[in-house]
Structure 1
Amino acid sequence: MHLISEFEDLSTETGIALPPLLRSLIFSGNTNYFPGWYSLWRDRSLDRVVPFLSWYDYEWIDAATSRNEIATWLNPAAQHGKAFLPFAQSGAGDIYCLMTLEDGQTGVALIWQYNESSQIDYRSFNDFVCIRYLETFADLSHLSDDFPDEISEIISADVYSVSRFMDEQKSGFLRGFCQRRISPHEVRYGKNGHTQTVPALISQSELDFHTAQFPAPSPKPFPVVPRWELSQFAPINTKTAVGSDWRSKALDPNTKLQAIRAYQQTFQCTLIVAKKAVDEFIIDAGNQASD
């Protein structure tokens, strides 16, 4: 089965549409870490550049890993009805996911495995890509150790290989930065964090200006049951799991205890974890009803 077919199956099961750009990147076959991927980007004729090769702390995952993340952690039955479609991870195991916004569009969220809440940070996959490239342009220090004399080349190879699948405006926007010379700039870590001088293509003020063109969506933060609170359980169909039995029981005060027991049996977790999950689901359902 082709890689894109496996992700299309996940898209159907979760009800989350695959953005055209992500679909094209997966279809290219370059999101898999093929033999020699670390150096083959140098030969443009091979067209073997792993997308986002220049980014800091970003790793693609395949469809099998995505399915496992859904089955064991990021599924509606375990996450208060929220659906996720994982496509990448950080080095620490936090998961980049597609999620559906209130207007039906597909946004992007980074789900931290040890946090108890998260939010959708990007209105679209295209916005996610543009912002992450801008952040990379503003701080190239992570490339200095592995590619000290080739930073410009790896940035250019990465941007050109991805932007060919984007519309002309966004493609030209990103490629324009590749023509700049790398020079020292101060970058700020966090909104009120410390500053540091790093090799960069753009300044902090330019980063702030350009990222403002891609405003974040406005949905409220949502609760996330941390990975460590859930034990392994068999893969499930995430679309049918939304209407699972424990959820309907939780909405009726007379059957709340049954809901807790059903949750505990379904996910093989402790009574404390089950009670907390059911309580959070009830609170979340009440907040949605009052909005």
Structure 2
Amino acid sequence: MEAHFQKLALKIGIELPERFSALIALAQSDKGTMRSAYDLFWLDAEEAEREIDEWLNPDDQQGRTFLPFATNGGGESYCFVRLENGATGIAQALHYGQTTSLAHTDISSWVASHYVRIAANLSHLTHQTEIGAALIHEVQLLHPALLPADRALLAELFSRPCVAMPFKDGPRSPSKIVNAFVSQEDEKALLEKLEQSDPVEFTVLRDWMR
């Protein structure tokens, strides 16, 4: 199945990096890849091509090229992106003219960011017995897609004690207590290190929407 993504990438003129290809190969062979990530659903190559045809067609994207590979429940695709200047990275293409940020230059930091968010709030996970060991095992399966520094970060994170901590879903939300490996304040600091400090921003629109 990963070969179908390679074929699609060739069709739209993108060369896929090794770690990105490794993640796609894992996800296409096992839809349970990154199973603990909240609101993340893998696309197959056929779904990705349909998304390109319907929304992300390069002819409408002002020199940017998108290869969607996953989505959230709202249909906002995570994409490998090549910008008009040739720079590449990972972004979530947001609807309704919202600003999309090229937050990650490498798939490794994108994966690690998802697990940092998991570490700060385990409430959506149904099975929390030996959760640290289970998450360490889950991350180990992703090693072909991860840089050594990100592997070490996540291994250390999920080796910590899992304890009850306060958590807020948003700035105006009431605080609640969740099981976590890291505080919400530390989560924010880690995410800032994993994401670009000054990312390129753009909107994702068809020409008729401009």
Taking the aligned partners of 1:75 and 1:207, their CA distance within structure 2 comes to 35
Match of 1:13 in 2: 11
Find the counterpart in structure 2 of residue 75 from structure 1.
Answer: 57
1:87 aligns with 2:84: no
Give structure 2 stretches of 5+ with no counterpart. none
* 1:201, distance to aligned residue in structure 2 (A): 0.7
**TM superposition score normalised by structure 1:** 0.63
Residue 187 (structure 2) aligns with: 207
* Structure-2 separation of matches of 1:88 and 1:188: 26
Q: How many residues align?
A: 209
Match of 1:259 in 2: none
Does structure 2 conserve the Cα–Cα contact (< 8 Å) formed by 1:88 and 1:97? yes
The structure with the larger Rg is 1
Map Cα deviations across residues 222-270 of structure 1 (whole Å, 9 max, x no partner). Answer: 23227xxxxxxxxxxxxxxxxxxxxxxxxxxxxxxxxxxxx8xxxxxxx
* 1:66 corresponds to 2:48: yes
Could you say which residue in structure 2 is the equivalent of 1:250? none
1:129-208 equivalences under 5 Å are 129-143=111-125, 146-149=126-129, 151-190=131-170, 192-194=171-173, 195-208=175-188
Name the structure 2 match of 1:239.
none
1:40-59 equivalent positions in 2, closer than 5 A: 50-59=32-41
Q: How far is 1:64 from its partner?
A: 1.0
Q: Sort the Cα spacing of 1:78 and 1:17 in 2 relative to 1 into closer, same or farther, 3 A.
A: same
Match in the other structure for 1:283: none
**CA apart distance, 1:62:** 0.8
- For the 8 Å contact 1:100–1:107, the answer to whether it is kept is yes
Structure having the larger proportion of residues in strand: 2
Contact kept, 8 Å, 1:4 with 1:27, in 2: the verdict is yes
Change (3 A) 1:128 1:138: same
RMSD of aligned alpha carbons: 2.5
What is the CA distance between 1:217 and its match in structure 2?
Answer: 5.5
Q: What CA distance in whole angstroms lies between the structure 1 residues aligned with 2:80 and 2:10?
A: 13
Correspondent of 2:88 among 72, 93, 106:
106
Secondary structure class of the residue paired with 1:77: helix
Letter of the aligned partner of 1:10 in structure 2? L
What percent identity do the matched residue pairs reach?
Answer: 28
- In the other structure, the counterpart of 2:100 is 118
Counterparts in 2 of 1:70 and 1:169: CA distance versus 1, 3 Å: same
Distance 2:169 2:23 in 1: 30
Q: Is the CA contact 1:32–1:62 (under 8 Å) kept in the aligned structure 2?
A: no
Q: Structure 1 residues 90 and 209 mapped into 2: Cα distance closer, same or farther (>3 Å)?
A: same
Secondary structure of residue in 2 paired with 1:109: strand
Q: Larger RCO: Structure 1 or Structure 2 (Cα < 8 Å, ≥ 6 residues apart)?
A: 2
Indicate the SS of the match to 1:212. Answer: helix
CA contact (8 A) 1:55 1:133 kept: yes
1:156–1:204 Cα change, 3 Å: same
Distance 2:153 2:34 in 1: 16
Runs of 5+ unmatched residues, structure 1 = 35-49, 227-262, 264-273, 281-291
Distance 1:142 1:150 in 2: 15
Q: Aligned pair 1:26/2:24, yes or no?
A: yes
Change (3 A) 1:75 1:175: same
